[in-house]
Structure 1
């Protein structure tokens, strides 16, 4: 059952989470440069325990870049990043992180069962697979509701089932923070609702959630905070604005909302 979420209070112009003992992820002046262009430009923010944060913006605004910079997948040209107080370059910083990349749909071409794909989440951190690890795999599959699909090849699964496999893979290390990049890509509407409920339950259980979205969809009512990006810069970091894109048929789009946030016309 989906748990109720109460939005956190914050000023629209400042991060909802102050840097302190409960801060999980912090960026200070984070800049990522590609081909001479600053795709992430001097971004500073902090995300704390129990938050459910959406990173939203138009295509090319730097949403995925920001998420990857948060966890050290992309190196910073300038600035610093910490996970639970440790610099992202330290191995210890990654122990509390679960990451579901945007390319989850690509696992449909992998010749592996759900159990094998989830098990690989542990093998990323060590070379041996221990007996107790099988129990953890079973627990992760049960958490996302696909225990009955444990031995099914991923090639025979729907988009929603594959996404659950990837979430289970991220959960296998029992993360304190779960990051998901466009989790509804290639997933039908019914499965989106189910996955949203799963993510909401994880957050209600204490897991901090950071999700990259182009439109809020079924997660809209669960979000406690929104970070809006435009051309690699944060233009809003605080309570979820009343007007946010909800689904492709909605008349509200990201671009005019960002115009309101920055007080100027948005030019793609």
Structure 2
């Protein structure tokens, strides 16, 4: 479980001239049970990326506490980052190796996995994003969408307890999008909590157990998909046309621009 209790995070006011700083996350409290598929939704600047980055210590709250599997993140960053996999919105922020295979293997290697286990994880993760047998390709030669798929594969290869994906479908073609959605569905069924950060819910609302909507750093919506769908447009969030929360396959029939 991920627990967030009274978390607030401010940033330097900078060009805004705000001497007190800009409040990105404002007194947020929520819990994410194991196996839950959670959407964190909101417009750009609503605080959703800052919030999820507190889950593994990439951002340190000014006040409040974040726990992962019962342990405060600030007390054990290594454990938090092993348990919470993160896929950034811009894959350039997390790709670290020259080739596809080496990049996906980086996390399992740092966990001390055996060579056989690393190979299995790399193969499974690349298959999940439709990039099987492309281990030897150089990262520099890939398109933006392909780099995003490698970043997702790198997080999947860690086999974390909780997987956070920040706008994961940007730049993905239709086969890759469907493959990733299928993999997220499988992860939830296996007990991994999946947290998708987005302002466009058309791909994922049909898979979600719960939606948390942020506005100005505060929780404005916390509801099951059917209830949340009525409120989210007021937060400048896109929901699937005609969504009624009843079909788990709604995500498969929607389309991304």
Report the TM range for the smaller structure's normalisation.
0.7 to 0.9
Cα deviation, 1:203-228, whole Å, max 9, x if unaligned, reads: 22322100100101221211111000
Which residue of 1 is the match for residue 244 of structure 2?
none
Correspondence for 2:236:
255
Per-residue Cα deviation, 1:6-58 (whole angstroms, up to 9, x for no partner): xxxxxxxxxxxxxxxxxx10010001110122211110000001111000011
Q: 1:188/1:144 Cα in 2 relative to 1: closer, same or farther (>3 Å)?
A: closer
Residue 238 of structure 1 and its aligned partner are, at CA, apart by: 1.9
Partner of 1:103: 90
Instruction: Give the conservation status (yes or no) of the 8 Å contact 1:111–1:155.
Output: no
Residue 40 of structure 2 corresponds to residue 51 of structure 1: no
Residue 68 (str. 1) matches residue 53 (str. 2):
yes
Query: How many residues matched?
Result: 225
Structure 2 distance, partners of 1:153, 1:202, is: 28
Aligned to 1:15: none
Describe the SS at the equivalent of 1:102: coil
- Equivalent pair of 2:201/2:237 in contact (CA under 8 Å): no
1:117 match: 103
Structure 1 range deviating more: 41-50 or 152-161: 152-161
Q: Which has the higher contact order (CA 8 A, sep 6+)?
A: 1
CA–CA separation in structure 2 for the residues paired with 1:33 and 1:157: 36
What stretches of structure 1 of length at least 5 have no aligned partner? 1-23, 246-251, 258-268
Aligned-partner Cα distance in 2 for 1:255–1:141: 34
Q: CA deviation at 1:101?
A: 1.0
Distance 1:193 1:244 in 2: 27
Separation of aligned partners in 1, 2:148 and 2:11: 29
CA apart distance, 1:194: 3.1
Inter-CA distance 26–203: structure 2 relative to 1 (3 Å threshold): same
RMSD over equivalenced CA pairs, Å: 2.5
Question: Which has the larger displacement, 98-107 or 180-189?
Answer: 98-107
Query: Alpha-carbon deviation of 1:75?
Result: 0.7
Query: Structure 2: 5+ residue runs without aligned partners?
Result: 13-20, 239-257
Q: Following the alignment from structure 1 to structure 2, what is the Cα–Cα distance between the partners of residues 236 and 199?
A: 23
